A and B are shown apart, each in its own frame.
Chain A
């Protein structure tokens, strides 16, 4: 994303020039690679230890083999009713505000300053929304249905659509959609050019309205809309959950253990797309990616094709590895439960991994660029040029914090998988044995994502 795009590099240079951050800190604004590169511990060892911690945590969790206690912990929480009038009132006010906000983003994108780091619309979309809002959906609760402007616009389409949504298609359009969004974010100039962003926003709105016109807004947003699926999936990890008649506060991840929560076809693929999309976003700014792409691009292979292949190939790799692991789980557990059912039941445990990686990837970006956003918001059309920039330099220990988020996500994932396995299989040893292949996959994910997180960040080549 924009984090390693030329525009943020420009912001970093600017900050350094303005004397707002010291040399190395300014470099970290764009790159955020943090302390691990300079620490006396070699990078490969840090990555390896992250993998060992995940494996050891699984063993440690396997000592907690009391099913009733697991359920009790995951059932802890508070519930509160919410009056329908209050809810509807809130929804209409926020809905109207969100449509105005969308119009403002498009207007400022089209008519505001042409450089992304001056443009309030660009900064709002990438820093406040794609980074910050997404963090709130898994850290607090999914408020997207309340503030989704696309849903409001699609709601204006009369009727329930012309045809029924094909049930078998399920979340598959959202899988393609979320991969396409990440592709556009990484490869297109949407992060550098506010005009392009505005056009993309309008295009997305047109797609949502079109989808609602054909299949009805309800079906479209429950299945195919990639942003709705993205925030709903992240929201299933959050402590704040919607219930039939109000809200519940639960432990993070507890709602993921309610049993077969991703029943819609394609949801397993969607969770893996989410996981891969977040990894890909960081992967393309590692030196390894640059080293792999440069010779091929010099041979004349179109760079866009390389990005498409990496995105699609990586997703296919993640998906097939997971499906293979769940097939193996059938053998390691000794059960007649189908591999597809195991894949579906355990898929929620991957959500904390994606969220932990997202947090590692975006928190520093949001914190560092928040002051720039506020400066830009003060003069959305004229641009903040006269006001000056503030880009926060991040301390060196931030690199360890990022690694901590990645690890934390995996540890929560182990807890969630453990709790689900105890619901899915009887006794204690079968649930534990069923997790072996999945844990092997999780350790592999940890190694990959920890390696991406501790790798120095370089500008994404050929974009």
Chain B
């Protein structure tokens, strides 16, 4: 009777969240597939690949790949900062612990 659940795929359908563009503002990009507005092209192409990956044409796929590449680079620098922050937090906490325990 039991079976392994099928792991959800990264492109599986998920309910979408409501959006609202403030009056007088024009979104930088809007998804052709679901109409979701984005504040920049980069996020738009990330979204298109993640949510509508099966339906993309070659141009769209290339745009998504580029956005993904850029995201990876930016993420690397972000994570470098996180690693430094973690190190600082850890050493500060450990030092103050030693100080308090005398």
Contact = CB atoms under 8 A, between A and B. Distances in A.
Interface of A: 40-42, 45, 49, 52, 55-56, 59-60, 62-63, 65, 67-68, 71-72, 74-81, 246, 248, 250, 259-260, 334-338, 340-342, 345, 423-430, 432
A38 B13 CA distance: 53
A41 B37 CA distance: 51
A335 B100 contact: no
B101 to A, nearest CB: 6
Contacts of B101: 40-41
B3 interface: yes
Nearest to B78: A429
Contacts of A259: 14-15
B13 to A, nearest CB: 9
B1 A80 contact: yes
A71 B7 contact: yes
A55 B89 contact: yes
Contact of A68 (B9, B15, B21): B9
Contacts of B47: 426
A336 B21 CA distance: 6
Interface of B: 1-10, 12, 14-15, 17-21, 27, 36-40, 42-43, 46-47, 50-51, 67, 71, 74-75, 78-79, 82-83, 85-86, 89-90, 93, 96-97, 100-101
A338 B17 contact: yes
Contacts of B2: 78-80
A81 B67 CA distance: 42
B5 A336 contact: no
Which among B82, B85, B90 has the highest number of chain A CB atoms within 10 Å?
Answer: B82
Contacts of A423: 14
A72 B43 CA distance: 23
A250 B8 CA distance: 13
B82 A59 contact: yes
Contacts of A52: 89, 93
Nearest to A52: B93
Contact of A41 (B3, B46, B89, B100): B100
B87 to A, nearest CB: 10
Nearest to B21: A336
B46 A68 contact: no
Given A78-B4, A336-B27, A341 B17 contact: yes
Contact of A342 (B17, B67, B85): B17
A68 B82 CA distance: 21
A75 B86 contact: no
Contacts of B37: 336
Contact of A427 (B14, B20, B43): B43
B28 to A, nearest CB: 10
Contacts of A55: 89
A432 B74 CA distance: 13
B6 to A, nearest CB: 8
A71 B18 contact: no
A425 B71 CA distance: 13
Nearest to A243: B5
Contacts of A68: 9-10
A72 B17 contact: no
18 contacts: A41-B100, A55-B89, A59-B82, A62-B78, A62-B79, A68-B10, A77-B5, A78-B5, A336-B20, A336-B38, A337-B18, A338-B18, A338-B19, A340-B18, A341-B17, A427-B46, A428-B71, A430-B43
